[in-house]
Chain A
Amino acid sequence: MALTPEQKMALRKLLIYAAAAIVSTWVLAPIVLITISAFALPEDYYNLGKIIPTRFTVENVTDLLFVLKGWISTLNSVLVALITIAVSFALGLPAGYAIARYVFPGRDTIKLLIIALRMFPVMAMAIPLAVLYIELGLSDTLFGVALAHTSMALPFVVLITSSIFVSVPVEYEEAGMVFGLSRSEVFFRITLPLALPGLAAAAIFTFVMSWNEVFIASVLTLVNRTLPADILVSAMAAPDPYKFAGGFIMVLPAMSFVFIARRYLVTMWGITLR
């Protein structure tokens, strides 16, 4: 059965769309399913005769948050993430600017070092860090976790802010200086506003990185747990609906934030979106 070129083209199109549909379903279906489980009425969930629960409730989530005090670890996660952003940006932003704008001896070595650091298993350092924290009084504190998260995020923040600043044309800064602004005035009044969208996206990704991190958080805390640490330790003992409610709470903010920042996939990973 020989196909005309027109038919071959149509077949190829069909195969492409079929593949796209399969890939999309493969990614989305599990997320949809855990959302269903999180909100399913436990009676429906435990009724194995039904393939998909049809009756829903918010009680799994509210119970997890308020009865089981899940809101505390959720809040802890938020605090840790915010502190991580604050510290890593306070340190990393100037470093990123230095790499972007200045040419100095050792620049290439530093760039390589940062890339190497990104690949180093910083999480493993949480073990000795736990011991050190005891002496420093940071043991089982949110601030301690945030500092550790910062060491994980810093290389990333330096590299990303550096590429964001590179994308702001030097000519704008030079124009500012020609018209009388000092170097730091130029930074705050010209560069920073232009870089703000990209920096906001970088902050969002840093937030997600900290929010999702589990090893360091579990090792460094006992009582003041972040959400992933809490789930890791207690989830598997809890009844299924609470497990999935916890999973849902973990997934929702991260997905929403990245959806908001999706345009900045360019800066993050160099992918150009048309």
Chain B
Amino acid sequence: MSSGGSSWVKKVIPYILLAPTAVYMAVFVGYPLVEAVVLAFQDPDTGAFSLANFERLAADFHFWDALRFTFMLAVIIIPLQVLLALTVTLLLGTRFKGSDLVLYIFVIPLTISDVAAGLIWYNILTESGYLNRLLVNAGLLSKPIHFFGYAYRNMEVLAIIITEVWRATAIVFVILFAGFQMIGQDYIEAADVFGASSIQKLRYIILPLLKPSLQTALIIRTLFALQVFGVVWILAGRDIPVLAGEAYYWQVEIKNPNIAAAYALLIAASSIFVGWLYVKLLKPEYLEERR
């Protein structure tokens, strides 16, 4: 490509174009990260280095609950989402008439915030919500099902699971579906011609070729799951503690930025850990050079 100016300028141009972004990210992510470390390891009264904040966390049962619930929700929700996303991917893969429309519809929840999703399912599941109205009026129930309130914590977890599956499956789906489309139509037709049943096709052709997308989807979804907040806060408040929820609580309601920073660090650390774990165990193929 020809252009005027010295070649020295040309070499430097990409770096000049990238510099503002790099600086911005360093300032708005790097700097706060450092500050988070400082705050978390700082004694709130003396300002000296101390582990007092973490000691306090370890003594707080909400902390252990938050840890437990955050991971428990992830472990339950993510497989459900992967299964559902895979099913819909295969369904749309048959390219039936109108599959484009169903694709748009299935992707709609991506545009819906977690707060709105929480309200949407609160609307359905609450005592005077549509589920109960339907079941009670149809005579199938004598009393409404309670999904919310501290006494019904197990149901709150169920409500969160339903809402998250409804809201965030599309994130997994979008990655799987793009990966599915990259599998040439020919590969699948060849399997058809050479005798493979639907299950054999899935097992020998589709799933192996979908592996990179599955890995990507799993990583991204797990990392988001560690940050779960809006849905839980709207549906259960602090009944179901989660890491991000506790961070919010300590920062905004208790106004203790040190503890809040400790939680923030934990979220960051566990994200990095999960990312490292995935790369180690699954060796995502997209990182390798392929033909």
Beta-carbon contacts under 8 Å, B198-237 to A: 219-220, 223, 226-227, 229-230, 233-234, 237
Selected from B107, B136, B182, B260, the residue in CB contact (under 8 A) with A127 is B260
Among B24, B115, B220, point to the contact of A228 (Cβ < 8 A).
B115
A-B contact count (CB 8 A): 273
B-side interface mostly: helix
User: If A121-B226, A219-B251 touch, does A131 touch B257 (CB 8 Å cutoff)?
Assistant: yes
Q: Which 9 A-B pairs have the closest CB atoms?
A: A212-B113, A247-B119, A151-B28, A98-B17, A128-B35, A102-B14, A270-B178, A94-B17, A124-B264
Which of A17, A122, A218 contacts B248 (CB under 8 A)? A218
Interface stretch of the complex, out of B50-58, B74-82, B123-131: B123-131
**Is A231's CB under 8 angstroms from B271's CB?**
no
Which residues in A have their C-beta under 8 angstroms from that of B122? 243
What chain A residues lie within 8 Å of B35 (beta carbons)?
128-129, 131-132
Is A148 a contact of B28 with CB atoms below 8 Å?
Answer: yes
Residue of B3, B105, B110, B116 touching A24 (CB-CB under 8 A):
B105
Least CB distance from A76 to B in Å reads 15
With A48-B133, A120-B271, A182-B4 as contacts: A258 and B105 at CB distance below 8 Å = no
CA of A183 to CA of B13 in the docked complex: distance in angstroms?
11
Which chain A residues in 88-127 approach chain B with CB under 8 Å? 90-92, 94-95, 97-99, 102, 104, 107, 110, 112, 116-117, 119-127
Please give the residue numbers on chain B whose beta carbons come within 8 Å of chain A beta carbons, in ascending order. Answer: 1-4, 11, 13-15, 17-18, 20-21, 24-25, 28-29, 31-33, 35-36, 38-39, 88, 91, 94-96, 98-116, 119-124, 126, 128, 130, 133-134, 136-137, 166, 174-175, 177-178, 181-182, 219-220, 223, 226-227, 229-230, 233-234, 237, 244, 247-248, 251-252, 257, 260-261, 263-265, 267-268, 271-272, 275, 287
A-B contacts, 17 listed (Cβ < 8 Å): A23-B88, A23-B105, A23-B106, A30-B121, A45-B128, A102-B17, A121-B227, A121-B267, A126-B264, A127-B36, A151-B24, A214-B229, A232-B230, A243-B123, A244-B119, A251-B112, A271-B181
Report chain B residues within 8 Å CB of A123: 227, 229, 244
